[in-house]
Structure 1
Amino acid sequence: VFYRTVYTDSSTVPRFACAVTQFAPTDDPRCCLPCWDEPELKATSMSLASGQRPHSDFPNMPEQSRSDISAAVLSRSHRSCPTYLAAFAVGRFDYVEDFDSDNFTPRLAGREQGRFALDVARKTLPFYNGLFQRRLSLPKLDLVAVPDWPFGAMERTGVCHLPTFETALVEHPTTPVRLLKNGGFGNLVTMQWWTHLWLNEGFASWIQYLCVDQCYPEFDIWTRFVKSDLSRALVLDALDSSHPIEVPIGSPCEIDEIFDAIKLLQGRLGDPHAARMAGPGAFRDGLSRYLDRHKYSNAQTEQLWKALEEASGQPVDFVMGTWTKQMGYPLISVSAKPADNDDGQQLELSISQERFQFGSNSSLAAWRVPIQVLTAEGVKINLLLTEKSAAVRVPKAAWVKLNPGFVGVYRTLYSEEMLTDLIAALQRGQLSQRDRFNLESDLFALFSAGRLSIVQLLQVVDACKVEQFYTVWADLLDNLAATIQVLVDQLGLSQQWRSFVCQLCEPAFQRCGGWDAQPGDGHDVALLRAALIRALGLAGHPSVCAIPADLRDSIYRTVLSNGGGPEFEAALDLMDKTDLQEEKDRIQRSLGSSRDPQLRQRVLQLVVSGDKVRLQDSIYVLGSVSSASLESRRATWRFIKCNWAWFQEKLRGQILLSRLVQQVCKNFCSSEDAEDIETFFQANPLPSAERNIKQALENARLNARVLAREGRNLENFWAKFDA
């Protein structure tokens, strides 16, 4: 309900405390004040906060009165809103403020380093005014930067809380942008019931990218959306343990269970389809209609579709109903042949759909899928697939690709001939960055689902040696680690794996200029260099391991992975001495990279000792150990089982316990490990993490099937890399 943290002002010696509300529905608001805390039951908020000068108070609405005797602050009343949106923060906060182009004054409570977040507010609020065709109706909007805030960015009506370090992240403006959207506009309409939770969460998350694209085009935010959101959602939603965007909710405990990554990410997937169908102008008009009809009230998904449909004249509800009410997404299979009764200038594409799943596919689900086809000559053809299969003609070309720009929410399975043509186009540099990303991402997923051989997959991996952009490399390295490395570890081929990574990444590392930044390097090159240094460092590449041990990010992992006791002690000493919490986070999330079993055990003990690792950071430290290797993963799981009573006592009632399961149990690769996890949680039920447990078991058994199918091929391939 309340989060208390302490911090040190750089100009003073004493440590100060601040208190911040964190109301998670439905129990938290009820613990603080008498209320029902349901979306349809609104309250006229009257926040009461207490803090003696020089403390500052940041409630939902502006201060109405202050008692000099009790130091209590009563804020102005506001039009109706649910009680879980009530919030305040009390502490010794300095603040900065600025005017936007509409003469509104957003404030940032935090250090001067956070001025970037204020600049984001000043720049994006006018965009939202135009998008929603209304001025911000609130009398104030505050961003409060909370030291050591463990919950991520939280937006409430008129006041938003976020971790201190996120206010200064120039490379990631999406956090303050989302807060401003929800804190200022998104909470104007509340979902009618928790079933429609995605309307507030997923929709807000997608709109933030639309805003950043308009206000900060240099960030190429849609490419980041593909990497950080779309591809991740497609992986989760291909599991049997997934769920639809809309899930009937019958009790409060079910809210926590569906308030997961799939809910947030699926929500981000529903909106691109609707926005593209309506068109930019009609989409803006439809949003305005939706807000006008339901402001300070409640709405269902169908009411948003209706408003967009009225504004655009397009069958939005007809198409979108298949995406929000059923689980999963389609696999589009496509093959090409010369068109009949033609002079050889056209191809006929045979297109069919089925549900994409990593496991066995027994689903009869079908979607209404907007599909775009791109040819080598740049010709684009659109169709709406409403049946199980269809045929379409396109001009004959050297290659044909579906889903250009990776805007469609589906995987594509090409015939062998079409895939060969696309790999050749990739090697010649004829595919755009997002199309290269799309091809690589789809093929890894198809391999995991048993629809592609390891030989075909590695052909694409080898072709990616010429890649020059960070986003494609980052996804490639993530997929190799999650899909191939876990299998290689199981086969005892870790040394060969490191040789493979060195051969794969070395050419790109040299193209970046090696370790030294070059004049004119852009932001993407800097990110790519860091990603390659991390990959090569963990693989033990000699030119990367020669770097000093006191550098950051990828370097911590490199040094700890290839060093021993002295390097480990140096990292602990550096963690103790630094004043920046984000620097402590970088170091402690790298400690698990050590390959020494004794040092690994020390890291695990740090979690429960309470000496160096804060409770909210414990799951990330455990995750860093678990992700290092198969031995580390099993050691972490044994440690958790032995200390389960401690974890239950410390993390009970928090989402952290569910995240712990997700972090540690997700990458096992044998049926024996899956049975061990399943047996443990049968004896120690954890209802709040039930879906995460199912996902972990499904992933482990999926990996075991892939290993049984491709193990011999993997051993043959890695035999050519020296141990």
Structure 2
Amino acid sequence: MNPNVRPVHYNIHLYPDLTTFKFKGTEEVLLRVVEPARAIEFNGLEMKVLSAAVTVGGAVWPVKGVSENAEKEAFVVELEKEVPVGEAVLKLEFEGEINDKLAGFYRSRYEYNGQSYYLGTTQFEPCDARRAFPCWDEPACKARFSITMTVQKDLTALSNMPIKSETTEGDLKTCVFDVTPVMSTYLVAYCVGHFEYLETTTEEGIKFRVYTVPGKKELGRFALDVGAKTISFFAKYYGIEYPLPKQDMIAVPDFSFGAMENWGLITYRETALLCDESSSFVAKSRVAYVVGHELAHQWFGNLVTMEWWKELWLNEGFATFMGTKAVDHLFPQWQVWTKFLNDHVFRALRVDALRSSHPIEVDISVARKVDEIFDAISYAKGASVILMIESALGEEPFRKGLNIYLNRFKYGNAHTEDLWQGLTEGSGKKVSNIMDPWVKKIGYPVVTVEETGQPGKLKITQNRYLAAGDVKPEENETIWPILLGVSTQSHPDIKYVELNTKEAVIDVDVSSNTEWIKLNAGQTGLYRVQYSAALFKRLGDNLSALSARDRAGLQNDAFALAIAGSISVVDYLELVSKFTEETNDTVWSDIFANLAVVRKLFDSPSMEKFVLKLVSKIGGELGWSGKPGEDESRSSLRGSVIATLGAVGDVAVIEEAKKRWTAFLSDKNSLPADLQSGVFYLVAKNGGEAEINQMIEVYKTSTLPAQKVTALRSIGSSRNPELIKKGLEYMMSEEVRMQDRFILLAALASSKVGRDICWDYVKQNWSLLEVKISHNLLPRIISYTCEDFSTPEKAKEVEDFFSQHKVHGTERTIAQTIESINSNTAIHSRNVAQVSKYLEQFN
């Protein structure tokens, strides 16, 4: 947008109609004119501007006409003469559709008492406010918003601010909301529909509500309690009061993302907000985390906003990190910083190992390309880098630096350098020198550790890690500043050593040259570690001496090194075979995920026997029933272990799952929530059409959001080709919401037979998928269908298809998917003979 004309204050009056799915609106925008202008340009998409008028100093300014630039998603009001420097007012009338695209101002359908109803809601991030009202739809174009809505009098209208006044005339009521603080357009929100709510007040006196569609408000009680405590925690932590008079959170039946941090009116997918005391540990911990993530945004992102989307990580990386910090404060027994490894650090390392990755800060010149960077790099790598910063600076200097940054830029926009400056002032350390390579460069290093022959001296080398294993010299020029956490057998307390060169010899505290030595101790660094064979064996032989975080990191690094060909898959399996005594749910979760990859690449009865031997001990210890006072994470682990044992053919587990399913059909309270995922999966995988139909019925009738998703995913667990095809048909039916179709597809494509059938379906029905899947969910359809292929022919097939079926905003996903297929191909060909021989001997 032209920087010489900027909005100061929007006065918007909306007239939504939930029967015709149309809306009309009027708008007055107070403008600041920096230089004389003959035209006023603003964003608008899929709407009609019915009239435009301009006044300057109260006098009407002649308008020549209004034109639309569809490519720029903009309108231009052309003037007969220049508007002078100063203030002007733009008056507009417009109309548009309450669409079904999960973007802009859209509609969402729900059932209540056997009838269908609709509500209207918004999703504006990153650049869809322009679908709902004419605006300057860029993060730096901050303004105040005065919003008024005229709706049917039996409906509830919500927006960012509380209602200031309400008047009724006939069947309509007009709700006038208080003026907002200065904020970006992507944070504006409004909802209209039949809602019910729960309410509490924070200790600071902020009114806090959770809204749902009728019949579901009691499922919001956990989120209400977590949310009210979290907002108080952040106010104290940041040292800045929550700046609005109220905070609403609303569960929306149709929602593309997990949640959206609209200031004062956060919108959520139902699974991210609603649960009850009977819900699984996974469901409750997800709600707690997502609530924490979104409330963290009320400061990081809303109060202080990135200048442009290239610095999206300032929003999402911080919210991911701070959401975890809030959950740890409320639920210290959950050990969420260990879980942080699985959810964020390992995820970041996996994606950033691809050539087709991107730096945390990535140049985005076209707004519509922003969707592609709402990914693991902005969220997970961003959060992992922040964990590194906090570890390097210390918790209190880090918090002090954040306070400086937030106070200095509140109600404004900021750059990464501004954050570095605040942290530098808070800690006394030059943060930009430490962190710039991590943010501005693609990838991360693998640190190679070798013994020198002298006790206590190690040779350390850093090089870029790539999953393909074939790093070229021009890709290996970055030198990352690394703070090496070191722990040893005789000196287990972590000590830190700086590495600022490609190679170095470092001193470590050991009493003999036969001790185990762990680098990246505590797993706060974003790098891999490759040990010499002797050091690697010592760590594997002393797993019980390591923390859960270090056991998880050792295992995950070994898997990544096997992927890259730095060690063999057999070396990885040898290490994993030593984890039979493992009890931590996070460690097991990552082992299961990595073994799932290995099983797909080297599928055989021998591989199933390997997994069965590995998991049998913990399976026997956990059994099917929990003990009084048992930790919630252990209950969650039980479900994962049962699913894994059944997946590799444990007949007793499969038969018990079938018995419990039969009991569940008669009494829905008979099966604990933490067991449902495993039982549902095993029944569907080993059943027939009758079981799939039963699963569909559970999906249709369940009132618990997490249980519905579990049933939907299980519909895709069959290995029967005809049932897989039936699952694809059901996926595209009106019974499955647009937001959930990718969930079923991912399950259907998780087996070899399913993958081929799903890929054929995608190719044959691509034009239908483009209509029936929200544009920001299409990348998931591509990756979930194709990324597990493992032949060069499939890589070529995928590349050829999408070169002929280009979809804006999926280019990076396609490149990453093809790279993953090529990587799978190389891993298989490099290891297949050796793995087969090893498994034969092992079994």
Q: TM-score range by the shorter chain?
A: over 0.9
Answer yes or no: is 1:21 the counterpart of 2:145: no
CA distance in 1, matches of 2:389, 2:721: 52
- Amino acid of the structure 1 residue aligned with 2:827: V
Residue 332 of structure 1 aligns to a residue whose secondary structure is: strand
Q: Which residues of 2 match residues 344-423 of structure 1 at below 5 A?
A: 346-359=455-468, 360-362=470-472, 363=475, 364-377=477-490, 378-397=492-511, 398-423=515-540
Asked whether the 8 Å contact 1:671–1:704 carries over to 2, the reply is yes
Answer yes or no: is 1:648 the counterpart of 2:750: no
C-alpha change, 1:25 and 1:519, in structure 2 (3 Å) is: closer
Residue 395 of structure 1 aligns to a residue whose secondary structure is: coil
Deviations 1:503-529 (A, max 9, x none): 2211110011x2222333221211111
Match of 1:517 in 2: 626
CA distance in 2, matches of 1:66, 1:243: 49
- Amino acid of the structure 1 residue aligned with 2:478: A
Aligned residues: 702
Asked whether the 8 Å contact 2:444–2:526 carries over to 1, the reply is yes
Q: Percent identity?
A: 35
Match of 1:680 among 801, 824, 828: 801
Instruction: Identify the range of structure 1 (295-304 vs 613-622) with the bigger mean alpha-carbon deviation.
Output: 613-622
Q: Which residues of 2 match residues 189-228 of structure 1 at below 5 A?
A: 189-228=304-343
Answer yes or no: is 1:606 the counterpart of 2:730: yes
Residue 406 of structure 1 aligns to a residue whose secondary structure is: coil
How far is 1:42 from its partner?
Answer: 1.3
Match of 1:138 in 2: 244
How far is 1:498 from its partner?
Answer: 2.5
CA distance in 2, matches of 1:499, 1:386: 45
Name the structure with the higher helix share: 1
Deviations 1:173-226 (A, max 9, x none): 111111212135541011111111111111111111122222321111101111
CA distance in 1, matches of 2:821, 2:599: 14
CA distance in 1, matches of 2:702, 2:237: 43
How far is 1:581 from its partner?
Answer: 4.2
CA distance in 2, matches of 1:300, 1:310: 16
CA distance in 2, matches of 1:501, 1:19: 49
Asked whether the 8 Å contact 1:47–1:86 carries over to 2, the reply is no
How far is 1:582 from its partner?
Answer: 3.4
- Amino acid of the structure 2 residue aligned with 1:93: F
- Amino acid of the structure 1 residue aligned with 2:625: D
How far is 1:356 from its partner?
Answer: 0.7
Match of 2:353 in 1: 238
Deviations 1:219-256 (A, max 9, x none): 11101111111101100000001000001111112211
Residue 255 of structure 2 aligns to a residue whose secondary structure is: coil
CA distance in 1, matches of 2:425, 2:433: 13
How far is 1:379 from its partner?
Answer: 4.1
Deviations 1:277-326 (A, max 9, x none): 22222212211111111111110000100111011111211000011000
Match of 1:41 among 108, 126, 141: 141
- Amino acid of the structure 1 residue aligned with 2:636: L
Match of 2:285 among 171, 192, 214: 171
Q: Which residues of 2 match residues 296-695 of structure 1 at below 5 A?
A: 296-339=411-454, 346-359=455-468, 360-362=470-472, 363=475, 364-377=477-490, 378-397=492-511, 398-426=515-543, 429-482=544-597, 484-489=598-603, 493=604, 495-512=605-622, 514-547=623-656, 548=659, 549=661, 550=664, 552-608=676-732, 610-627=733-750, 629-651=751-773, 654-695=775-816
- Amino acid of the structure 2 residue aligned with 1:665: C
5+ long unaligned stretches in structure 2: 1-103, 276-282, 665-670
How far is 1:573 from its partner?
Answer: 3.3
Residue 261 of structure 2 aligns to a residue whose secondary structure is: strand
Match of 1:276 among 391, 396, 402: 391
Answer yes or no: is 1:157 the counterpart of 2:263: yes
Residue 207 of structure 2 aligns to a residue whose secondary structure is: coil
CA distance in 1, matches of 2:405, 2:365: 27
Name the structure with the higher strand share: 2
CA distance in 2, matches of 1:145, 1:614: 15
Asked whether the 8 Å contact 2:300–2:315 carries over to 1, the reply is no
CA distance in 2, matches of 1:181, 1:680: 41
Deviations 1:248-275 (A, max 9, x none): 1111122112222222112112211222
How far is 1:30 from its partner?
Answer: 1.4
CA distance in 2, matches of 1:560, 1:451: 38
Match of 2:85 in 1: none
Residue 668 of structure 1 aligns to a residue whose secondary structure is: coil
Match of 1:342 in 2: none
How far is 1:82 from its partner?
Answer: 1.0
C-alpha change, 1:720 and 1:390, in structure 2 (3 Å) is: closer
Residue 201 of structure 1 aligns to a residue whose secondary structure is: helix
5+ long unaligned stretches in structure 1: 340-345
How far is 1:687 from its partner?
Answer: 2.9
Residue 3 of structure 1 aligns to a residue whose secondary structure is: strand
How far is 1:721 from its partner?
Answer: 8.0
How far is 1:714 from its partner?
Answer: 1.8
Residue 578 of structure 2 aligns to a residue whose secondary structure is: helix
C-alpha change, 1:554 and 1:301, in structure 2 (3 Å) is: same
Match of 1:343 in 2: none
Asked whether the 8 Å contact 1:277–1:316 carries over to 2, the reply is no
How far is 1:407 from its partner?
Answer: 1.0
Answer yes or no: is 1:90 the counterpart of 2:205: no
Which structure: larger Rg?
Answer: 2
RMSD: 1.8
Q: Which residues of 2 match residues 61-72 of structure 1 at below 5 A?
A: 61-69=161-169, 70-72=172-174
Match of 2:826 among 705, 714, 720: 705
Instruction: Identify the range of structure 1 (429-438 vs 271-280) with the bigger mean alpha-carbon deviation.
Output: 271-280
Instruction: Identify the range of structure 1 (348-357 vs 265-274) with the bigger mean alpha-carbon deviation.
Output: 265-274
How far is 1:720 from its partner?
Answer: 5.4
CA distance in 2, matches of 1:125, 1:231: 28
C-alpha change, 1:636 and 1:252, in structure 2 (3 Å) is: same
How far is 1:576 from its partner?
Answer: 3.5
Residue 46 of structure 1 aligns to a residue whose secondary structure is: strand
Residue 541 of structure 2 aligns to a residue whose secondary structure is: helix
- Amino acid of the structure 2 residue aligned with 1:94: E
Asked whether the 8 Å contact 2:256–2:777 carries over to 1, the reply is no
CA distance in 2, matches of 1:180, 1:644: 38
- Amino acid of the structure 2 residue aligned with 1:29: A
Asked whether the 8 Å contact 1:350–1:389 carries over to 2, the reply is yes
Deviations 1:659-690 (A, max 9, x none): 11121111111111111101111111123111
How far is 1:569 from its partner?
Answer: 2.7
Asked whether the 8 Å contact 2:334–2:633 carries over to 1, the reply is no
Q: Which residues of 2 match residues 105-120 of structure 1 at below 5 A?
A: 105-110=207-212, 111-120=217-226
Residue 171 of structure 1 aligns to a residue whose secondary structure is: helix
